[in-house]
């Protein structure tokens, strides 16, 4: 004859056991099999800053085109490579680039996943960004034209990316355009933000911005006058850019670089000057010229723009005084050329040395690394 107390305790034990099992299953659902940290975000540092040696290094990763991991086969590789080639080759390449270059920041410039090959957008995103999350290196991303083609919209994907470990991505800018009636004006797209990088530790500029990074959503696809074309950066985004640029000038002129996915029409028309790298395919862009180049020229602070989208192009070329640089195809599920190694771009900011400490930006350099077994460094050049 069990007492009511014993039955009550047994019932509570059963309830706690069921809740515990449910929590474990839910937590498992929200994690990635090979080690994603889970639902609590590991935070990047509040402030990005140059190193004590006066440098700040950015690794650009363009067009990973991640699918379903080891089940997703590679495209455009040699026949002898195909059987054992999958998204895991992209993962290993990213791991190697982080090990070789030891970047201070990683910039992903869109088509992070190839939506049509992904059965679960969230899981593919976690897997694609996992190497940088495991490395604890701060990072940011913009979207390309393929990221939203799986199970999540662009509006859903960017908040997810912003919540990942060590991500400094934002869905919207920190500050919006404030009109006369103090209402917030909509800014087109998802993933427009900027990050400021401070001077070196123990220098006079350790709490001052010396380099600025712009991130812009160049959209996916659109129809204009019945013609299917790629999307473009809108006037609301350019207006926000001008405001940020003006606010930076109020302190001290600060050089900036920008990251987005789809090239602008002027890059197709040219003429380009001082081209370094390979021009292997026709520039794919919108039929709409929204005035991006004109806006960047008027601002005066943007020295270089880093893009993706056209995987076979990896060149830098100067367009009306501003450098436009392709990252080159990074991912193995993205199209490329068999026998031509996938590649990544590196951007290095270097400070000038003052009599007692590091000063402001002296120059910006770039080069590429090939996934050729040796991580060969090619096409080193000074951008500014």
CATH of residue 208: 3.60.21.10
Is residue 71 a part of any domain in this protein?
yes
The per-residue pLDDT for 4 is 59
Helix (H, G, I), strand (E, B) or coil at 321: coil
How far apart CA 144 and CA 309 sit, in angstroms, is 7
Is residue 112 a part of any domain in this protein?
yes
Is residue 58 a part of any domain in this protein?
yes
Q: Could you list the residue range(s) of the whole structural domain that residue 359 is in?
A: 51-382
The per-residue pLDDT for 39 is 52
Q: Which two tokens stand for residue 39?
A: 């639902």
Number of structural domains, the chain? 1
Instruction: Find, among 222, 258, 256, 255, the residue nearest to 237 by Cα.
Output: 258
Give me the tens of pLDDT residue by residue for the chain, a chain 384 residues long.
Answer: 456 565 655 555 654 554 444 344 334 444 444 444 445 689 998 899 999 999 999 999 999 999 999 999 999 999 999 999 999 999 999 999 999 999 999 999 999 999 999 999 999 999 999 999 999 999 999 999 999 999 999 999 999 999 999 999 999 997 644 343 333 468 999 999 999 999 999 999 999 999 999 999 999 999 999 999 999 999 999 999 999 999 999 878 899 999 999 999 999 998 999 999 999 999 999 999 999 999 999 999 999 999 999 999 999 999 999 999 999 999 999 999 999 999 999 999 999 998 888 999 999 999 999 999 999 999 999 999
Q: Please check whether residue 37 is in contact with residue 297, taking contact to mean a CB–CB distance below 8 angstroms.
A: no
How far apart CA 287 and CA 384 sit, in angstroms, is 30
Is residue 37 a part of any domain in this protein?
no
- Please report the sign of the dihedral spanned by the C-alpha atoms of residue 57, residue 41, residue 35, residue 108: negative
Question: Bridge partners of 66?
Answer: 113
Residue 317: Cβ within 10 Å count: 20
**Farthest-apart Cα atoms in the chain, separation:** 93
The per-residue pLDDT for 116 is 93
List, in sequence order, every beta strand (DSSP E) within the chain. 48-49, 55-61, 105-109, 139-142, 193-198, 209-215, 221-224, 227-230, 256-259, 273-276, 302-307, 316-319, 322-326, 343-353, 358-370, 377-382
Is residue 21 a part of any domain in this protein?
no
Is residue 7 a part of any domain in this protein?
no
Q: Which two tokens stand for residue 32?
A: 């990635």
Is residue 253 a part of any domain in this protein?
yes
Burial of 120 (0-12, 13-18, 19+ CB in 10 A): middle
Is residue 20 a part of any domain in this protein?
no
The per-residue pLDDT for 346 is 98
**DSSP H or E stretch at residue 81:** helix 79-82
Considering only CA atoms, give the Rg of the chain: 23
How far apart CA 210 and CA 377 sit, in angstroms, is 27
The per-residue pLDDT for 186 is 86
**Which pTM value belongs to this model?**
0.88
């Amino acid at each position: 004859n069990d007492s009511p107390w014993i039955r009550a305790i047994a019932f509570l034990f059963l309830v706690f056991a069921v809740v515990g099992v449910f929590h474990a299953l839910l937590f498992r659902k929200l994690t990635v099999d090979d080690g994603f940290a889970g639902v609590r975000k590991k935070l990047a540092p509040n402030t990005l800053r140059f190193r004590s040696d006066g440098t700040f290094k950015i690794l650009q990763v363009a067009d990973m085109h991640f699918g379903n991991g080891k089940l997703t086969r590679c495209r455009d590789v040699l026949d002898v490579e195909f059987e054992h080639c999958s998204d895991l080759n992209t993962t290993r390449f990213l791991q190697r680039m982080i090990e070789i270059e030891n970047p201070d920041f990683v910039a992903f410039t869109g088509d992070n996943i190839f939506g049509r090959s992904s059965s679960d957008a969230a899981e593919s995103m976690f897997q694609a960004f996992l190497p940088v999350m495991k490395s604890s290196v701060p990072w940011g991303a913009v979207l390309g034209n393929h990221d939203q083609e799986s199970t999540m919209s662009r509006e859903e994907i960017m908040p997810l990316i912003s919540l990942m470990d060590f991500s400094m991505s934002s869905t919207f800018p920190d500050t919006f355009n404030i009109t006369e009636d103090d209402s917030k004006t909509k800014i087109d797209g998802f993933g427009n933000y900027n990050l400021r990088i401070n001077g070196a530790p123990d220098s006079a500029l350790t709490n001052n911005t010396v380099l600025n990074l712009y991130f812009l959503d160049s959209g996916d696809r659109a129809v204009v006058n019945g013609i299917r074309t790629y999307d473009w950066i809108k006037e609301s985004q350019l207006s926000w850019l001008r405001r940020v640029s003006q606010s930076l000038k109020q302190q001290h002129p600060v050089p900036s670089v920008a990251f987005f996915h789809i090239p602008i029409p002027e890059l197709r028309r040219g003429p380009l000057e001082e081209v370094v790298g390979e021009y292997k395919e026709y520039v794919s862009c919108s039929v709409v010229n929204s005035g991006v180049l004109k806006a960047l020229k008027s601002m005066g602070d943007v020295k270089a723009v880093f893009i993706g989208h056209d995987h076979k192009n990896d060149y830098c070329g100067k367009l009306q005084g501003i450098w436009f640089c392709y990252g080159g195809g990074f991912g193995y599920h993205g199209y490329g050329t068999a026998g031509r190694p996938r590649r990544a771009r590196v951007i290095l900011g270097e400070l000038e040395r003052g009599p007692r400490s590091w000063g402001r930006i002296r120059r910006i350099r770039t080069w590429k690394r090939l996934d050729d077994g040796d991580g060969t460094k090619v096409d080193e050049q000074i951008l500014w």
